[in-house]
C-alpha cells in the first residue's frame, strides 16, 4: 500500500532480534529462565557458567568497546517486560488452546521461591513472566514459529 505515492515498507525482524533490546532473544529468555527456575539472585543470573555476559566487542558502540557486562538490573527489567505482555500472552494461549485443546497451560500454577519477591505485585509479574516463557516454548513446538519478535509486535507488546 502506498501513502502519498511512497510505497509502504514493512520490516520483519529476525527471530533473534527484539526491538529496543540490546541483547538477543536467546540471551534474554535464557537469563530470565535461569533466574526464575533457580534460587539464584539477579546478580548470579547474569553470569553464564560462572562468567559475565558482555556486549559483543565487535560492535561499534561505547558499551561494546568497553566490553560492558550485563547488569543484574537488566534481568529485572526483562522479567518486568515479559510479565507485562498480557495481550501477547492471551493471544498466544488462545492459539495454543485451539491447536491443542487438551493443553492445561492456562491452568498451570507458576510457583516461585518466596525469596524472589517482596510484594504481591512483583510475585504476579514474575509468575506471568514464567508463564510467558513456557508459552513461548510451547508455541514454538506447536507452530514451528517463535512469539518474539513478530507475533509479540503484532499484538502491541502489551
Entry pTM: 0.77
Q: What is the pLDDT of residues 97-139, one digit of tens each?
A: 899 888 877 677 777 888 888 999 999 999 999 999 999 989 9
Domain ranges for the chain:
2-154
Which pLDDT belongs to residue 65?
54
Contact 55, 47 (CB under 8 A): no
Residue 27 pLDDT class (50, 70, 90 cuts)? confident
- 67-78 mean pLDDT: 84
Backbone angles phi, psi at 48, to 5 degrees: -120, 115
* Tens digits of residue pLDDT in 140-152: 999 998 888 777 7
Q: Determine the pLDDT at residue 67.
A: 61
Amino acid at each position: 500500500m502506498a501513502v502519498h505515492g511512497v510505497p509502504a515498507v514493512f520490516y520483519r525482524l529476525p527471530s533473534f532480534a527484539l526491538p529496543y533490546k540490546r541483547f538477543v532473544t536467546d540471551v534474554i529468555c535464557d537469563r530470565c529462565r535461569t533466574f526464575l527456575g533457580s534460587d539464584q539472585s539477579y546478580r548470579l543470573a547474569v553470569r553464564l557458567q560462572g562468567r559475565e555476559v558482555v556486549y559483543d566487542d565487535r560492535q561499534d558502540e561505547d558499551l561494546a568497546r568497553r566490553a560492558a557486562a550485563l547488569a543484574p538490573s537488566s534481568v529485572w527489567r526483562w522479567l518486568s517486560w515479559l510479565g507485562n505482555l498480557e495481550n501477547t500472552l492471551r493471544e498466544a494461549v488462545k492459539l495454543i488452546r485451539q491447536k491443542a485443546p487438551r493443553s492445561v497451560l492456562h491452568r498451570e500454577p507458576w510457583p516461585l521461591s518466596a525469596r524472589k519477591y517482596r510484594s504481591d505485585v512483583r510475585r504476579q509479574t514474575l509468575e506471568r513472566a514464567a508463564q510467558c516463557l513456557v508459552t513461548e516454548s510451547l508455541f514454538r513446538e506447536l507452530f514451528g514459529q517463535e512469539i518474539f519478535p513478530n507475533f509479540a509486535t503484532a499484538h502491541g507488546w502489551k
